[in-house]
Amino acid sequence: MIPQWHLPATRVAFWDKFGWKEPFPEYGLDLDAWWIDPQRAAEVEARQSGG
């Protein structure tokens, strides 16, 4: 028998270019409530290009 192992949390990695509604959902991710914030997206792009 191989026991199953689960984290009591969900880990999500993402570029810091998204906005989301506040307060952040306590349960689940509700990805439909995320959007790309143009200012944050420009900052991420500048960091990626070395600027």
pTM: 0.55
Find out whether 15 and 37 touch, Cβ atoms under 8 Å: no
- 23 close to 2: Cβ distance less than 8 angstroms: no
Q: What is the model's pLDDT at position 45?
A: 92
Token readout for 5 is: 């192992």
Average pLDDT for 4-21: 80
More confident residue, 14 or 34: 34
DSSP state letter for 31: G
Residue 46: how many CA atoms within 13 Å on its side-chain side?
7
Output the six-digit token pair for 47. Answer: 């960091």
